[in-house]
Structure 1
Amino acid sequence: MRINDSLSKLTLRNMCAGQTERAIEIAWRNIGLTSCDASVIPGVAFFDSLVRSVTSPGQARSPLQVTQILGNLFFFLKVWDPATLQCSTTTSLSTLASCATVPFPDNLISPSSRIKLRAAFGFAVE
């Protein structure tokens, strides 16, 4: 049990340090452990951390890179915390979109990908 607790702490430390992709790698490797799952680290925490990381000053990324990073996050969340992506109706927001503390990074994604990714994460499609 102590090891699992350490894994959650390591995952959270990586997220706080802006190393969300590393945190996702740790989470993937330990996905079956009960103290390192969505009840401990919800999907919205990964989303917020990742968006903060790609929008931080000094993080020059192309629209293609940001699209790939968000696509990878989406597939991770489909396994890690699928409930956070679900919308109760076709016009409602997902739990992730409702609880995110950062806005969707529209300005970093090409218009053609933006609509698909906003819909995939359960944000309103503009």
Structure 2
Amino acid sequence: MARTIIQQTRTNYPDEDRMSSATAIDFDDAARCLVERIDSIRGASRTPSLIGVGPGTIENIRRGRRKSITAVLFERIRGAAIRELEKEIRSLQAEVAIARSSGLGLESDEIVHAETALQKARKAIRNLARQPEGE
């Protein structure tokens, strides 16, 4: 069940805050997917420290028990996912360079596997970087 967030917007009137339905954003599913990606890269026990939140917060996101995901929390999760993917890309590039320098043929299973993983990581980071703020 998807949940949405209604962000408060300030008006020109100091005593009046209004809720704008135009700024309703669904972060739950995206946050859960990003947390799962970070879990798969670095391990579930490291995810809270990588994002900078408590383990209970991450567990609630994993299980869909959060009532809302704020834009700030979503950006922290997204930033951690991008950083971890960048680390993975650097690691895979090093792995490919080592495999090539060791004399393995270009069609070697190890090189093909590493290059495929590298392409997937690059695509994932492009998708994350393209997401506009708050979407």
Judge same fold: TM > 0.5, yes or no.
Answer: no
TM-score by length of 1: 0.29
If the length of structure 2 is used for normalisation, what is the TM-score? Answer: 0.28
- Higher strand residue share: 2
Quick check: which has more Rg, 1 or 2?
2
